[in-house]
Structure 1
Amino acid sequence: MIDRIIEAIEAAQTIILHRHERPDPDALGSQVGLKKLIEATYTDKTVKVTGYTEPSLAFLSEMDVVTDDDYKEALVIVCDTANTPRIDDDRYTLGQTLIKIDHHPEVDAYGDISWVDPSMSSTSEMIYLLATTGKKQLMLTDEAARLMYAGIIGDTGRFLYPSTTEQTLHVAAELVRFNFNRTDLYNQLYETKPAVAKLKGYLLDHLDLSKEGVTSAKLTEAILSRYDVTSEETSALVGTYGDVLGIQAWVIFVEEPNQIRVRLRSKGPKINTLAARYNGGGHPLASGAKVKSWEEADQLVNDLKDICRIYKEGKEE
Structure 2
Amino acid sequence: MYSQIIDTIKQFDTIIIHRHVRPDPDAYGSQIGLKYMISHNYPNKRVLAAGGHDYTMDFLDFPDAVEDTDFEGALVIVTDTANTDRIDDQRYDTGAKLIKIDHHPNDDNYGDICQVDVTASSSSEMIYELFTYGQIEENWTLTAASARLLYAGIIGDTGRFLFPSTTQKTFDVAGELIKYDFDRNELHNGMYEMDRKLLHLQGYMYQNFEMNEDGAAFVKITRDILAEFDVTPTDTSLLVGTLGNVKGIKAWVILIEEESEIRVRLRSKGPVINNLAKEFGGGGHPMASGAVAYSWEEADRVIERLEEICASV
Report TM bin, short chain.
over 0.9
Q: 197, 200, 212: which one pairs with 2:199? A: 197
1:63 maps onto 2:56 in alignment: no
Structure 2 counterpart of 1:47, one-letter code: V
**1:99-121 superposed Cα distances (whole Å, 9 cap, x missing partner):** 00000011211000000000000
Q: CA deviation at 1:133?
A: 2.6
Structure 2 counterpart of 1:101, one-letter code: I
Residue in 1 that maps onto 2:276: 274
Q: CA deviation at 1:157?
A: 0.3
Q: CA deviation at 1:243?
A: 1.3
Q: What pairs with 1:168-187 in structure 2 (closer than 5 Å)?
A: 168-187=170-189
Tell me, which stretches of 5 or more residues in structure 2 are unaligned? none
Structure-1 separation of matches of 2:151 and 2:139: 18
**1:10-37 superposed Cα distances (whole Å, 9 cap, x missing partner):** 0000000000000000000000000000
> Closer, same or farther in 2 for the Cα pair 1:137/1:25, shift >3 Å?
farther
Structure-1 separation of matches of 2:58 and 2:46: 22
**1:253-308 superposed Cα distances (whole Å, 9 cap, x missing partner):** 01111110000000100000000111110000000100100000101100011111
Residue in 2 that maps onto 1:261: 263
Q: CA deviation at 1:38?
A: 0.3
Q: CA deviation at 1:213?
A: 0.7
Structure-2 separation of matches of 1:87 and 1:45: 23
CA contact (8 A) 2:59 2:191 kept: no
1:6 maps onto 2:15 in alignment: no
CA contact (8 A) 1:3 1:136 kept: no
Residue in 1 that maps onto 2:308: 306
Residue in 2 that maps onto 1:315: none
Tell me, which stretches of 5 or more residues in structure 1 are unaligned? 312-317
Q: Which of 206-215 and 151-160 deviates more?
A: 206-215
Residue in 1 that maps onto 2:97: 97
Q: How many corresponding residue pairs?
A: 311
Structure 2 counterpart of 1:50, one-letter code: A
Structure-2 separation of matches of 1:119 and 1:255: 33
Give TM-score scaled by structure 1 length. 0.97
Structure-2 separation of matches of 1:136 and 1:125: 19
**1:210-263 superposed Cα distances (whole Å, 9 cap, x missing partner):** 022111111111100000000000001101110111110000001111110000
Structure-2 separation of matches of 1:148 and 1:142: 10
CA contact (8 A) 2:254 2:265 kept: yes
Give TM-score scaled by structure 2 length. 0.98
| 3-state SS of 2:242 partner | coil
Q: 216, 221, 224: which one pairs with 2:223? A: 221
Q: CA deviation at 1:137?
A: 4.7
Structure 1 counterpart of 2:282, one-letter code: G
Q: Which of 134-143 and 177-186 deviates more?
A: 134-143
Q: Which of 284-293 and 58-67 deviates more?
A: 58-67
Structure-1 separation of matches of 2:104 and 2:120: 9
Residue in 2 that maps onto 1:234: 236
Residue in 1 that maps onto 2:50: 50
Structure 2 counterpart of 1:211, one-letter code: E
Q: CA deviation at 1:136?
A: 2.9
Residue in 1 that maps onto 2:76: 76
Structure 2 counterpart of 1:122, one-letter code: S
CA contact (8 A) 1:21 1:86 kept: yes
Structure 2 counterpart of 1:76, one-letter code: V
Structure-1 separation of matches of 2:59 and 2:206: 29
Structure-2 separation of matches of 1:260 and 1:28: 24
Structure-2 separation of matches of 1:105 and 1:52: 25
Q: Which of 137-146 and 167-176 deviates more?
A: 137-146
Calculate percent identity across the aligned residue pairs.
53
Residue in 2 that maps onto 1:314: none
**1:173-227 superposed Cα distances (whole Å, 9 cap, x missing partner):** 0000000000000000000110000000000011321022111111111100000
